[in-house]
Structure 1
Amino acid sequence: MNAEQLIFYFFAIMLLLSALVVVTSYNLVRSIFLFFVTLFALAAIYVFALADFIALTQVVLYAGGVLILMLFAFMLSNKELLNALKPVKKSFELNHFLGFFIALAFLLILLRLFFGNDFSQLEWIKSSTPISKNDNTIHAIGIQSMTRYLLPFEILSVFLMMSLVGAAHLARKGKKL
């Protein structure tokens, strides 16, 4: 096993463990910070897959934007609202059983598809060209987003601005309209 594989397995294990703690933790602050670790580990996995633009987007948008927005929403939230939350029951109820059953069914379907198909024989995989380390995918994505996809790109920026204004309005102290 070489150094690249060890680093990949380190990030994969870190990704799985931190994601598991995010889902199972009852402490909201701990979940938010471990979500930060999860996002960075996922970005590292993207780097190993030679998806440099996706890794950079993962760090900038999710870790830099969404996670910070979650932290601000938590810090600026009303104390009375947080104190009014009821403690979570730790018993296994019917809705937990149904959610577990649906998740297990999806897992079995995915495993059957994964082990039942030969992915190397799919036409779109056979016709694709492999990505090399010298490919400049960021340059191609930048040209496409500023020419062909300029209107959706600008609409997305307006939606992000609207969500920022909405978050600032919700966090504002004083009387609500």
Structure 2
Amino acid sequence: MNLVQVLFYVMGFIALASAIFVAATTNLVRSIFMFFVTLLALAGLYVLALADFVAMTQIVIYVGGILVLILFAFMLSGKETLNIMAQQRGKFISIKKLPALLLAAFFLIVMLNMIFKVDADNLDWVKKSVSYKNVVLPTSPTTENIGVNLMTKYLLPFEAISILLMVALVGAAHLARKGARE
């Protein structure tokens, strides 16, 4: 086992463990900070996958933007709201959460099915990509490829992310105005 594999397993374990902690904890402050750890571990996984631009985007947008907005909303929320949330301590698995648990189980089954049944090296589009030499090598300039793909092939998801960020900013402004009126 080489160093890259060890780093992958360590980063994967950190990402999974912190994500489980975020979902399982009842303390909102600890949950927010462990979400920060989860996002940084995902950025580390992107670096290991040679997606340096995606890793930096992960850090700048999600860690630097979205997480700060979550902290901002937490700090502006009233003490009464936080007390109500603290009193709603329910079981981790309850009948109210059954639809979400079923959906999560369905996605887990689909992911495991894809992992165990799909041979990624023998897919048609992978073979065509390799035969056309349309692969990204570690020495390839990734920012040029990303720039071309963002403005052609992935323009719709790129615009959807910009709308998501705009909605987050409008929500933060609404929370700030709501806090100023009280």
* TM-score under structure 1 length normalisation: 0.81
Counterpart residue number, 1:125? 126
Distance 1:93 1:148 in 2: 43
Gaps of 5+ in 2: none
Counterpart residue number, 2:181? 175
The aligned amino acid for 1:124 is W
Q: Which moved more, 1:102-111 or 1:2-11?
A: 102-111
Shift in CA distance, 27/4, structure 1 to aligned 2, threshold 3 Å: same
Any residues of structure 2 matched to 1:1-177 within 5 Å, and which? 1-85=1-85, 86-90=87-91, 92-128=93-129, 129-142=134-147, 145=150, 160-161=165-166, 163-172=168-177, 173-175=179-181
Q: How many residues align?
A: 176
Q: Which moved more, 1:98-107 or 1:55-64?
A: 98-107
* TM-score under structure 2 length normalisation: 0.79
Name the one with the larger helix percent.
2
Distance 2:150 2:35 in 1: 29
Shift in CA distance, 145/5, structure 1 to aligned 2, threshold 3 Å: closer
Q: Which moved more, 1:54-63 or 1:111-120?
A: 111-120
CA-based RMSD: 3.0
Distance 1:4 1:126 in 2: 25
Distance 1:152 1:40 in 2: 22
Q: Give SS of 1:18's match.
A: helix
Shift in CA distance, 31/158, structure 1 to aligned 2, threshold 3 Å: closer
Shift in CA distance, 90/105, structure 1 to aligned 2, threshold 3 Å: same
